[in-house]
Amino acid sequence: MKPLNFKVATLAAMLATALTGCSGDDGQDGKDGTPGEPGQPGNPGLIVADSAKSLEVTVTDIALGEHTQVNFSVVNEQDLPVAGLDKFGFLLSGLELGQDGDANAWKLLASESCPASKYSGCGTLVDNKDGTYSYQFDRDVTAESAFTIADDKSLRLVVRSGGEEVGSTEVAYANLIHDFRPDGNTPSYSKNVVTEENCVSCHDDLAFHGGKYTEVETCVACHADNKVGEEALFTNLAHRLHIGKIAAPVGGCDNCHNEAGEASDFANWKRVPTIASCATCHADVDFKTGANHVGGPREDNSACAVCHSEAMIETNHLSTYQGQISRRENVHLTVTDARMVAAPQAQANIDAGLDTDQTGYVQLTVDIRDRDGQSMNLQLDKADFFYYSEFYINWGGHDMGMERGKILRVFTNKELYPGYVDTPIVLNYENGETTFEIGPFELTDTFDGDLTDSYGMVTPRIWFCMDAQGEKLESCKETSSVWGQGAAGFNWLHFFDEQGMLSERPRRQVVTNEKCGSCHGMTERDSDGMAQMTLNCRSCHPVTKTDSAFFGTTCASGSIDKDGDGQLDEQIMLKSLRPRGERDWTTASNAGEECLACHNANNPPTQVIRDAHTKQGDADYVEQLTMSHPDHKVWIHAMHANNRANQGGEGWVRNVAYSADLANCVKCHEGDSFDAKYLVGRKPLALDLDYMDSYDGLDPDNGKDTSGNKRYAVDAKADAYVSPTAAVCLSCHGKRAPEAGEDRRQVRKEVVAHMKQNGAQFGVTEGEYTGEESCAVCHNLDNLKSVHGLN
């Protein structure tokens, strides 16, 4: 309490007494005066946020100079001011326009953060307690020799917020990107080669350096040549981490460099060639000495565009698939009709005597059409410009009824094997349309019963031969380089039933071509809206008969006992899953689900057994087979999670580094198609547990070896089954991180036990299988969204 001044108080009392004695007051109250005007309302107290889930920063003004000051405000998701924050980061960069062929480049002027750390200092941060703040840079930003500030130049301020608690919640990091000019005018140019939209097509989000930096615009502003070494320059860093390692083709620059969001400079890769950017891919070129460079040595970028024009660069990089688009247009192998019939009509099928009252035959009609959609009036099996023309067909509805269905191989490069490569049977040829009859298809199923009223699917796989100019079709028998001068035809997926082709798809949409193609590469055709996603099937299915280096990795294969210890040797000579450099020279998908014709629950896993990645006697043999199953819904999950038995070994080339969060189901799935209810009552996955019991090996030096019990994948016979929901969930959740000394990750026993407690069955016989999984009771859609962070 403030002390009372005794002298002042005494004087006041004496004056009051004196005035009373002299007033002449009669002691009556006076009349009330006239009421005054109403007063102005008082200002209410400022309301500031006591919690926040997110922060939004707004820069109000920037004063550049020796002591550059930034004034900014912060509000929460309810637009309430947030006071009391003390963790911020500040980056300031300037954009220098390139001269003599150099690319425009950001130069870092300052990088500071509060509180200070061993990596950066903190200037002066002032909290005005009302949601507004000011920050004065510790460093003189005008002293940077790599950049001179001028009124008309573009600058970029990055303000990092988050990483601290507001109320009881820790707010996530976020980066505000504020581009400006010193004179206050809007920048006429800010270099944006790639944007977040480009990156998140594969990644869920960007979060580097402990999650503090979340925007690609931040990365380019800091990874500048006046701040970091050559290896850490953003262009070099991004190329080194992606080229040859991501799922899209090498050389397909437009996988990342496309006009998404605000990527105004997306075409820089072909418009502004520089030594630094080109060398990240063309590592064999020494620009200083001129080695492997037709133009000889180059000291700078001044002459690059003289030879390397935009059109030339685009052609050299993208012609491997853009050129293929033009080539592919020459031939359309068009399915005009498909239907299931109860009994065969082709004499060869009648004579085969395979028809029963529980089988059916598919009649498939195909027309060869030119780029204008006109029939070529050619019988398909007599056209000599096809290197292969194959149709993958299955019947049975959602789960399909047969292991690999039936494959009509009109022309093929496959090794002859009865039941796998059969002579095509022509039922009819009329008006340019060839009708084939394929079968028999089983119309009864152990688990699904009568399949007569179901539906089927058919998809082609095509390669045809052309001249070197890609203008004329050419006989494959006369073409010296089939692969160099050919083209992969467009692939279509069709559904059909007993009446014919279905105009509407009978299956729910699980994935789309666009979602898969966002990472794997995609070709879009404006003429019909079709989008084809690249599928490099040969990454998994190499042609081992002509490729001795990869003998033992495809349909006819198996490990051998080289050291004579009585055990099959571990086979790790696997073909790399890394992408090739040619987009669309490989099989292309137009629905992302054609694989189901072969990759279904009926098809037991064989490759990981043949190559001894798992074998009878292993404690986790059944579980390893489950996670290595070719069934589409297991195969895709397990491959991306790196959980197949042939993945996870140190240095193995089949390891997959998935670029997004595995828990983000909607990254691949359409809508709520990941709901566990869709797996209830589905067909169990087939296993062949004794597949290798009688295998005695092949000669790895002889690709034509047919001695001994040659094990084909199509030899597999189901003798055990696994519950479908458990198999799908195990494909992601079934393994833990590698432990010291382990060559591959081990199955999590506690996960398997949990599944078994809720009805899952692993490796049981047909008679033992009950199909009584209760997973969806607890793991309903709401639960799945919650535990996967999708709410």
pLDDT of residue 291: 94
pLDDT of residue 255: 81
pLDDT band for 575, please (50, 70, 90 cuts).
low
Give 756-780 as a DSSP string.
HHTT--EEE-TTT------HHHHS-
Q: Is the pLDDT of residue 640 over 60?
A: yes
Question: pLDDT for 181-206, tens place per residue?
Answer: 999 999 988 999 998 888 888 888 88
What element of type H or E holds 497?
Answer: none
pLDDT of residue 696: 56
Question: What gap in Å lies between CA 389 and CA 442, rounded to an integer?
Answer: 24
Question: What gap in Å lies between CA 534 and CA 187, rounded to an integer?
Answer: 40
Winning range, highest mean pLDDT, from 148-162, 478-492, 695-709: 148-162
Question: pLDDT for 430-459, tens place per residue?
Answer: 999 999 999 999 999 999 999 999 999 999
> What's the full length of the chain, in residues?
791
pLDDT band for 480, please (50, 70, 90 cuts).
low
Least confident of 142-151, 175-184, 206-215: 206-215
Neighbour count for residue 539 (Cβ, 10 Å): 18
pLDDT of residue 550: 41
What element of type H or E holds 332?
Answer: strand 332-341
Q: Is the pLDDT of residue 552 over 60?
A: no
Per the DSSP assignment, residues forming a β-bridge with 473 are 466
pLDDT of residue 4: 35
Q: Is the pLDDT of residue 5 over 60?
A: no
**Long-range CB contacts (within 8 A, 24+) of 312-317:** 313/269, 313/270, 313/273, 314/270, 317/251, 317/252, 317/253, 317/270
Question: What gap in Å lies between CA 199 and CA 767, rounded to an integer?
Answer: 50
Higher-confidence position of 247 and 543: 247
Q: Is the pLDDT of residue 25 over 90?
A: no
What average pLDDT is seen over the chain?
Answer: 84
Q: For 346-368, b where at least 16 C-beta lie within 10 A, e where not — what string?
A: beebeeeeebeeebbbbbbbbbb
- Give the N- to C-terminal CA distance of the chain in Å, as an integer: 55
In this structure, the strands spanning 685-687 and 588-589 are unpaired
pLDDT of residue 549: 41
Least confident of 36-45, 107-116, 444-453: 36-45
Winning range, highest mean pLDDT, from 19-28, 56-65, 480-489, 606-615: 56-65
Contacts of 275 (CB under 8 A, 6+ apart): 287, 298, 300, 301, 304
What element of type H or E holds 349?
Answer: helix 347-352
pLDDT band for 251, please (50, 70, 90 cuts).
confident
> Token pair 């297991």 is at which residue?
634
> Which tokens go with 661?
């969060």
Contacts of 188 (CB under 8 A, 6+ apart): 154
pLDDT of residue 543: 47
Q: Is the pLDDT of residue 42 over 50?
A: no
Higher-confidence position of 58 and 481: 58
Per the DSSP assignment, residues forming a β-bridge with 436 are 364, 426
> Which tokens go with 286?
């020494």
Q: Is the pLDDT of residue 699 over 70?
A: no
- Region for 96 from its dihedrals, namely left if φ exceeds 0, alpha if ψ lies in -120 to 50, beta otherwise: beta
Q: Which of 267, 272, 249 is nearest to 257 (CA)?
A: 267
Helix, strand, or coil (residue 318): helix
pLDDT band for 28, please (50, 70, 90 cuts).
low
> What is residue 460's DSSP assignment?
E
For the chain, the domains span 56-261, 326-507
Question: pLDDT for 709-750, tens place per residue?
Answer: 455 667 789 999 999 999 999 999 999 877 766 667 889 999
Question: What gap in Å lies between CA 256 and CA 690, rounded to an integer?
Answer: 46
Helix, strand, or coil (residue 457): strand
> What is residue 490's DSSP assignment?
P
Winning range, highest mean pLDDT, from 28-42, 339-353, 714-728: 339-353
3-state secondary structure 32-69: CCCCCCCCCCCCCCCCCCCCCCCCEEEEEEEECCCCCE
Helix, strand, or coil (residue 217): helix
Contact (CB, 8 A) for 756 and 749 = no
With a pLDDT cut of 70, the percent of the chain lying above it is: 80
Q: Which of 196, 132, 162, 205 is nearest to 53 (CA)?
A: 162
Winning range, highest mean pLDDT, from 28-32, 45-49, 110-114, 561-565: 110-114
Tell me how far the alpha carbon of residue 561 is from its chain's centroid: 39
pLDDT of residue 658: 87
Q: Is the pLDDT of residue 610 over 90?
A: no
Question: What gap in Å lies between CA 363 and CA 344, rounded to an integer?
Answer: 9
pLDDT of residue 712: 63
Contacts of 1 (CB under 8 A, 6+ apart): none
Per the DSSP assignment, residues forming a β-bridge with 375 are 369
pLDDT band for 21, please (50, 70, 90 cuts).
very low
Q: How far is CA 748 from CA 290, 623, 752, 754, 772, in A?
A: 55, 10, 7, 10, 22
Q: Is the pLDDT of residue 88 over 80?
A: yes
pLDDT of residue 249: 72
pLDDT of residue 591: 67
